[in-house]
Structure 1
Amino acid sequence: MEKTDVELLFEQIDNITETVQHYENETYLDSLVLTLEIMFYQNPLDGIDEQLKEKLQSLINDFNVKEYETTQIRKALQLAILKGMKGATQQQHLMTPETVALFVGYLAGKLTGGKEKIRMFDPASGTGNLLMAVWEQLENVGAVYASEVDTTLIKLAVMNANLQKREVEFFHQDSLRPFLLDPVDLVISDLPVGYYPDDISANDYELKADEGYSYSHHLFIEQSINYTVPGGYLIFVIPEFLFDSDQSDKLHAYLQEKAHIVGVLQLPETAFKSEKNRKSILILQKKGSNTSAVRQPLLVQVPSFKNTKAMNDILAQMNSWFSTNINL
């Protein structure tokens, strides 16, 4: 069977990465960062082993990444990153599944379609794949911002953006600390799940725990709302248990005060590796002087993405809901 352009590009990226990994004795992901820099500048970087330099020169002479389309580059990089993350135990090192990222993009388009030059922000951007996948589906993006605390992940995100010729302003920081950022029209994020160890910073949040560590996923919601314009939208990929945890009463009360719940979409179990990783999508609108609650929030049980007929039925129902409930 003939290989697709995405598969061919992935093989070339993988080949260079494994060569770098062999010589530099680094992890696959750190070697991938170097590979993407070499591909972007189209020559081996200074300060690396001469033998490696020669080998890399012959490898990059064989192809030019700029001949590929943006989507092909993103998908090939996604395959390489997934390979590097295989066996990663940290939840924040798991990538948002492609089908879920495309679904978030669809929702973002429905919520912001009538607006011009929106400003978009992902406060937990990881390698930037969710951000790029959503951006591909929007035609009205003005400025894009992303934040990530992990050094390797943000380097991958920067190279991801560069190779796709996307202009993103990155913040390399703890995303629960203050930003030098004006509020945006749209926040999208696959929420990092767990406890936030910095009690001093957590103290500034309404959603801090009454005792013990606060939940970082709760604080991320509050932080995101803080950096959203009144009337702006937020689309979160959330853990299934978000509203069932021991601190969920506080979260409910906070959301009731600050936002309108536009919808909750339960994603199919088949989109995730195991039931405990299962996620939903939460859509919020930040309250403002001209906003009002939707009459009937969008509550959807999303079928398996492989079930085309059921998927088309759900999309038709959702399109109808958006045309009735969201005034653009």
Structure 2
Amino acid sequence: MEQSNVEGLFEQIDNLTETVQQDLNETYLDSLAIVLEAVFEGEPQKELTEQLQKLPDTASYEVVEVRKAVQLAILKGMKGATQEQHLMTPETVALFAGYLAGKLTEGQKSLRVFDPASGTGNLLSIVMEQLDDVGDVSAGEVDPTLIQLAVLSANLQKKEIEFFHQDSLRPFLMDPVDLVISDLPVGYYPDDIRANDYEMTADEGHSYAHHLFIEQSINYTKEGGYLVFVIPEFLFESDQSDKLHAYLQENAHIIGVVQLPESAFKSEKNRKSILLLQKNGPETSALKQPLLAQLPSFKNTEAMNDILAQMNQWFKENMNK
């Protein structure tokens, strides 16, 4: 039932978006933002009254159905995207990151959560659905189209998220959080002057944005707080990885690394893992045996259930609640 509701709502949103796209000669994603705003407000901008006569009523859908329908529309708009930051975290990967975040923070009340590179907010929304008790949630995103879609998507899902439209490697006006969750942007950071403020700045040339995002995230995490990153598989083997190793050794404990299945990604070079960290604090200590796991295909239910049972056991034995 949920699937047909999702498809039905997606089709309505998609049809309206294509109409606006043709009429205003905008990109699909920008047209989608116009449509989602009209759906949220309950009425379109005056100049689009004719094109957007029949707006869907999202109140008659479950929150997850709304998220998935919007997600499908965003994915359609991103199909032709060449920029890495215009790609969405796959649903299965986001669900698994949420499962791990839930395990790390089990029993904690009124969690403060932050995603410094939120894109359209899909990863953050999925993780929020899997946490026991969420308090303040905030997100940073520099891309104007992506943050607009993220805000509208959150509004339609009735999720309270504070969004910062800024370069997330600049300072934030916020207190440290209990949990950072992020699909790290991969590549070079062009602002060498700003990069000099970081311990992991490159000795020469541009610094890696993904390294600086880890450092920035740790800066905004409480002592003893947790970080869940979707990382490129080559993270610990790149030419600047010695700085990363040294920084992590000084500032955090590695809780675990979970390799995601090859089948979840288009090519080997796009493969990712999930890195789990805990920020150092007076009551924290390194684990004798971090969680190291390689996931089978998400479609292999039996193998997945088996590894989940093993991981649940690991959390039970190794994480002091």
Give the alignment's TM-score, normalised by structure 2. Answer: 0.98
Q: Which residues in structure 2 correspond to 1:172-211 (within 5 Å)?
A: 172-211=165-204
1:299/1:80 Cα in 2 relative to 1: closer, same or farther (>3 Å)? same
Select which of 210, 223, 238 maps to 1:230: 223
- Cα distance between partner residues in 2 of 1:307 and 1:206: 42
Corresponding pairs, count: 321
The 2-side partners of 1:33 and 1:3 are apart by 23
Summarize the alignment of residues 30-45 of structure 1 with structure 2, pairs less than 5 Å apart. 30-45=30-45
Say if 1:38 and 1:239 are closer, same or farther in 2 by CA, change over 3 A: same
Partner of 1:306: 299
Distance 2:210 2:68 in 1: 27
What corresponds to 2:52 in structure 1?
Answer: 56
Instruction: Give, in whole Å, the separation in 2 of the partners of 1:214 and 1:147.
Output: 20
Tell me if structure 1 keeps the 8 A contact 2:94–2:123: yes
Gaps of 5+ in 1: none
Q: Is the 8 A contact 2:20 2:51 kept in 1?
A: no
Alignment match, 2:22? 22
Q: 1:200 to 1:299 in 2, by over 3 A?
A: same
Q: Answer yes or no: is 1:105 the counterpart of 2:135.
A: no
Q: Secondary structure at the match of 1:179?
A: coil
Is this contact kept in 1: 2:154–2:161, CA < 8 A? yes
2:110 paired residue among 107, 110, 117: 117
2-structure distance, mates of 1:139, 1:72: 20
Structure 1 counterpart of 2:202, one-letter code: A
Task: State the Cα deviation string for residues 104-129 of structure 1 (Å, max 9, x = none).
Answer: 11001101111100100000000000
5+ long unaligned stretches in structure 2: none
1:288-313, CA deviations, whole angstroms, 9 ceiling, x for partnerless residues?
00001112000000110000000000
Q: Is the 1:113–1:140 contact (alpha carbons within 8 Å) kept by the matching residues of 2?
A: no
Which residue type is aligned with residue 36 of structure 2? L
Partner of 1:220: 213
3-state SS, counterpart of residue 56 of structure 1: coil
**Conserved in 1, the CA contact under 8 Å of 2:16 and 2:51?**
no
Give identity over the alignment, percent.
Answer: 74
Alpha carbons of structure 1 residues 252 and 45: separation in structure 2 relative to 1, 3 Å: same
- In the alignment, which residue of structure 1 is the partner of 2:238? 245
Match of 2:85 in 1: 92
C-alpha deviations, 1:171-197, integer Å up to 9, x for none? Answer: 000000000010000000000000000
Asked if 1:277 corresponds to 2:270, the answer is: yes
Alignment partners' CA distance in 2, 1:156 and 1:212: 34
Cross-structure match for 2:160: 167
Matched residue type, 1:36: L
Letter in 2 for 1:53: T
Per-residue deviation, 1:139: 2.4
Q: CA RMSD in A?
A: 1.2
Shift of 1:2: 11
Mapped partners of 2:120, 2:183: distance in 1: 12
1:273 CA displacement: 1.6
Deviation >2 Å, runs of 4+: none
Contact 1:118/1:143 (8 A) holds in 2: yes
